[in-house]
Amino acid sequence: MTHPTPQYLLYLLAALSTANCTHSTPAQVDNDPKEPWSSGPPTQLTASPVAILNFTADGTGILIARRRVAIERLPNGSTRKDTGEMFVGQIPTAGGSGVWEWSDDRPDQFDSLNNITAAALSSNGQLLIQELTGPISSNPDNFPVFWHAELYLVNLDARGYRRRLVGLFDEIDGQAVVPPGTLNWFSSLQWAGEYRFVGEGAHLSPRPGEPIQRLGLFQGLIRNDTTVVELIDDLSDVDEWSVTEDGMVLLRSGLDLFLLPASGGQREAITTIPAAPGRTVLAARCDRGSCWVVSRGGQPNGAAWDVWNIDRPDGHPTLVRTFNPDVLGVPRLPPRSRHAIVQVGGIPYAIREILSVP
């Protein structure tokens, strides 16, 4: 997992303002067991760069964000760019046409804009979003001065009704409203139950260019009138985390995999991927009965990927396949999916059927 910096957030804001969505037709894959294994050609999922926020709970969709930008002509004949509506949409992990799930119908404002910087969609249509609002500025180096962020819960079954859960980043006269070391930002979010979410928490400084302070993993409990957020792991040695199919949290530290209850508690070791010269883990994920790991290195061809399957009850790692990917990048593993997603230049590609046992 790469941890966000203010520069990454500026890239995300730029991607959100320019992304459009032309989708591909899913590639046909030949999985004849009599032939050598092949994932087929990578499937390009969009025609232009997009900001990937998350995956759907069942792994069939990718949550992306975009802005509909319009040019408004003023009475004096000049034009101005309307910041437009912000959309959170879903495209299939296997390729094909996308369906937009929700739009923020914030009134048009020529002097400010909003962005969705983190999101998670539950299996029952609850959309968790972190919304960042601030000025339209010709000098992006001023970010995040005059910006503020909130966490909202959107009910997609109730015409997009949204409820403010938590106030996050805010600043007054260049000072954060909460002291350093205090949660005011989520770098990523995932659901871990009907009313429980898990997020990587951080402290965003109001001083431009200052790095984001990683604080750890937090759980949030949504109640009728309050949302309680508490630290469950400091993530001090963790490279990657994700919520498992049965509501646990997978933690990866180097070659080691652990499980942590989403409510907090003690880590439980699952397995260690065998060490080899140059071997590093690129991505990991756990389902209900097994885990998957994609690593690189440890083979004569250092660019090849190794795909491992781990039985959760006994923790034994089995090398399923080794292959050379047709696109180079860090893979992401959607829950329950047989595909891996790789972004190259902001464009997502699906490498199909790599998470399958021969």
Q: Are 21 and 49 in contact (CB under 8 A)?
A: no
pTM summary value: 0.84
**Residues 95, 62 within the same domain:** yes
pLDDT at position 146 over 90: no
**Residues 187, 64 within the same domain:** yes
Strand pairing category for 185-191 and 196-203: antiparallel
**Residues 153, 172 within the same domain:** yes
Is 331 contained in some domain? no
Is 358 contained in some domain? no
Expressed as residue numbers, the domain containing 186 is: 1-29+38-236
**Residues 173, 137 within the same domain:** yes
Is 152 contained in some domain? yes
Is 332 contained in some domain? no
- Two tokens at 21? 């969505």
**Residues 268, 143 within the same domain:** no
**Residues 125, 258 within the same domain:** no
**Residues 304, 194 within the same domain:** no
**C-alpha dist (Å) from residue 114 to 68, 88, 149, 256:** 12, 12, 9, 39
Is 348 contained in some domain? no
pLDDT 10s digits, 87-144: 888 999 988 888 776 776 655 555 677 889 999 999 888 999 999 988 876 666 778 8
**Residues 1, 141 within the same domain:** yes
The CATH number that applies at residue 257 is 2.40.10
Is 352 contained in some domain? no
Q: Which of 129, 118, 177, 122 is nearest to 152 (CA)?
A: 129
Q: How high does pLDDT run on average in the chain?
A: 84
Confidence band, pLDDT 50/70/90 cuts, at residue 6: low
Q: What is the number of structural domains in the chain?
A: 2
- Of the residues 213, 236, 259, the one at which a domain ends: 236
Give residue 1's pLDDT.
47
